[in-house]
Amino acid sequence: MPATTLSCLRQRELLLEPGTNYTMTQNSWDELATGWDARADTRLYAERAFESWNRKIAPLVSDLTESRVLDFGCGTGLLTEKLAPLCGHIVAVDISAAMIDVLQSKVINKRIGNITPLVTAIDTAAINENPELSEKFDVVVASSVCGFLPDYNLTLRDLSSTLKPGGLFVQWDWLSEMPIERIRGAYKESGLINLGVEEAFAMTMEDESMPVVLGVARSPI
Ligand SMILES: C[S@@+](CC[C@H](N)C(=O)[O-])C[C@H]1O[C@@H](n2cnc3c(N)ncnc32)[C@H](O)[C@@H]1O
């Protein structure tokens, strides 16, 4: 999650009674959608994620121009837009209708022909019932979303079921929320082949350096 969002969460936590847990709901994400693209840190996070894609992921994939890519938890599509020129087609999904509205407007205004925005969670029913999800993907990306899932391992199993044999799963998350061992364990449990889980970059918030972990795994052939 970009640092400003974390900052928002901390501010909300301060407003809550001590001991009250604050968790992000679909509505909380909806509230953040309008200002998302105007924030310097959300844009910087996407830029750094894309830089790390070019450094670490691009060498693993030859040519994506015919590929089908799933961007899970795409938000307003800050990373989706950067990946789109490299990819055949991107199905960009999010549970927040407001986030998807922002992406849909950009797709129309910028005439981006290869992004299909979709409001949906990812579970077995959604995958089976929606033809956009049931056709297998070459790559699944998840940028700053896995740390917010109620059951990361379960969703990872669902996401890995959408991959073609040999397809890639790529995730970026705050290291503090998604320790490296947790990610490695989830890859093993879901049958994915771990290609590397490591710190990719760091964001600075209130003089604090917040490392971001990049995890990459492959679906067995
Ligand atoms: C921190 S934002 C990241 C957005 C985008 N990937 C980016 O890097 O700018 C997290 C996004 O994940 C979405 N999200 C959270 N839980 C989700 C779920 N269970 N299924 C799909 N999207 C989810 C939120 O609505 C939000 O848009």
Q: How far is the CA of 150 from the centre of ligand 1 (A)?
A: 13
Task: Indicate the pTM of the whole model.
Answer: 0.92
- Of 148, 154, 201, 214, the residue with max ligand 1 atoms within 8 A of its CB, to mutate for a pocket test, comes to 148
Residue-level pLDDT at 23:
63
CA distance 73 to 26: 11
DSSP 163: E
Ligand 1, atom 27, lies closest to the CA of 75
Give the pair of three-digit tokens for residue 196. 């590397």
Q: How far is the CA of 109 from the centre of ligand 1 (A)?
A: 22
Residue-level pLDDT at 127:
98
Domains of the chain: 3-218 (3.40.50.150)
Task: Kindly report the number of other CB atoms within 10 A of residue 180's CB atom.
Answer: 13
CA distance 49 to 1: 11
DSSP states along 31-87: HHHHHHTT-HHHHHHHHHHHHHIIIIIGGG-S--TT-EEEEET-TT-HHHHHHGGGS
49, 73 Cβ separation under 8 angstroms: no
Give the pair of three-digit tokens for residue 66. 């015919």
Would you give per-residue pLDDT tens digits along the chain (221 residues)?
A: 444 455 444 444 433 344 444 467 768 899 999 999 999 999 999 999 999 999 999 999 989 999 999 999 999 999 999 999 999 999 999 999 999 999 999 999 999 999 999 999 999 999 999 999 999 999 999 999 999 999 999 999 999 999 999 999 999 999 999 999 999 999 999 999 999 999 999 999 888 999 999 999 999 99
- Of 9, 29, 52, 102, the residue with max ligand 1 atoms within 8 A of its CB, to mutate for a pocket test, comes to 29
Residue-level pLDDT at 18:
41
> Residues with beta carbon inside 6 Å of ligand 1?
1, 5, 29, 42, 45-46, 73-75, 78-79, 94-96, 99, 121-122, 143-145, 148-149
Closest-CA residue to 142 (of 62, 45, 196, 71): 71
Closest-CA residue to 58 (of 93, 85, 92, 91): 85
CA distance 52 to 55: 5
Residues composing the chain: 221
